[in-house]
Amino acid sequence: MCCSKVFTGGNTLNRHAVVIHGSTIHEIIPIEKLDTNIAKINIPDSLLSPGFIDLQVNGAAGYLFSTSPTEKTLKKICEVHRQFGTTNILPTLISSDTNRIRSGISTVEYFIRSGIGGVLGIHIEGPYINNQKRGMHRKVSAPTFNQESVALLSSLSYGTTLITLAPESIPANSISALVDRQNVVAIGHSEASYEESLAALNQGATGFTHLFNAMKPLHSRDPGCLGAGLYDENSWVSIIADGIHVHPANIRIALAVKPSGKIILVSDAIVTPYCSNKTISYGSHVIYVQDGRCILSDGTIAGSCITLLDAIKYLTNELNVSLAEALRMASTYPAHAIKRSNELGYIAPGYIANLSVLTSDLKVIETWVNGQRYQYPE
């Protein structure tokens, strides 16, 4: 594939070609040095980027994974988000009961084992959260956290499991049991103190889910988990950058204090701009889509109406973040957060061919998922 610019996740190369063999990247080479016998796809005036990786996707086009954790739902969600440059997702289960968690894990495992591209694993958000900070989550009585809980949450055999929980909702030292089973653990929907949050990080938690949202505000004498997320240099934080969930000044603060590579973009999408849905069923609740917001009847924000591409545009247009850094926040840094940067998040030899092709005004015209090409005519 020959493009005007290739953003590798590290730097930008002009007039280079990316050679793909099967599902992986073989080499990146100047166009003029390309073997004349290789079949070429020329995409002039384009930017090739690593495909975007969204670690928190609830749904699209009227499909919610928490409501219907099926293969059909996953295919539709991947199809919609793929058109906006997101080549890989973690479908998200919101505070589900044991049977729904088991069903969601089973569906994701089948999806991955079948070789269907686009799904990297699962994000289990709850039910071990603080009900005072549940947001759109239904109020649930989480089952007692024990060895059976660890076994269930860790039962995905293929792919990545990201677990969002409130440290104060589970017994002490429980996080280490999840981490020992190769799960990625993030703090979220929590009123944990600063000290409780640092203890969770010491046990192996590595991130904070949608920083600023569904967590105790920063207080002069009580930094809470928000303060821990901002202060800790080693942990990553995810942010919903849509101009609705987080005030732009707070995003600027996070950008100023967190080390490079530790802020990732998530959509928390319920629907996307592509979808025409005005209402979506969520259990006994109805989510209303109004003026770019997803809300419950009482006005509670319920996920978002964006894709990672929208978040990239928001950062570059409203906060003057460089395009390269915004692209990293949507691709390279998420790969590091889930410990898969050896195969995802970069354009480099040996990496999976998950790619997004963008125009100069940031329209996605192609995506590649595991080496398979998808085109979106302008």
The DSSP bridge pattern shows strands 293-295 and 355-358 to be: unpaired
- Assess whether 268 carries a catalytic annotation: yes
15 touches 30 (CB < 8 A): yes
Tell me which DSSP letter residue 301 carries. B
Please enumerate in sequence order all residues whose Cβ is within 8 A of that of 83, keeping only pairs 6 or more positions apart, or say none.
274, 364, 367, 374, 376
| Apex 5 CA angle, 43 and 238, nearest 5 | 110
Choice among 54, 232, 242, 268 that is catalytic: 268
Q: Is 167 helix (H, G, I), strand (E, B) or coil?
A: helix
The DSSP bridge pattern shows strands 86-94 and 121-125 to be: parallel
Return the closest-CA partner of residue 106 out of 162, 156, 56.
156
Query: What is the distance between the alpha carbons of residues 156 and 141, in angstroms, rounded to a whole number?
Result: 24
Active-site residues, by number, are 268
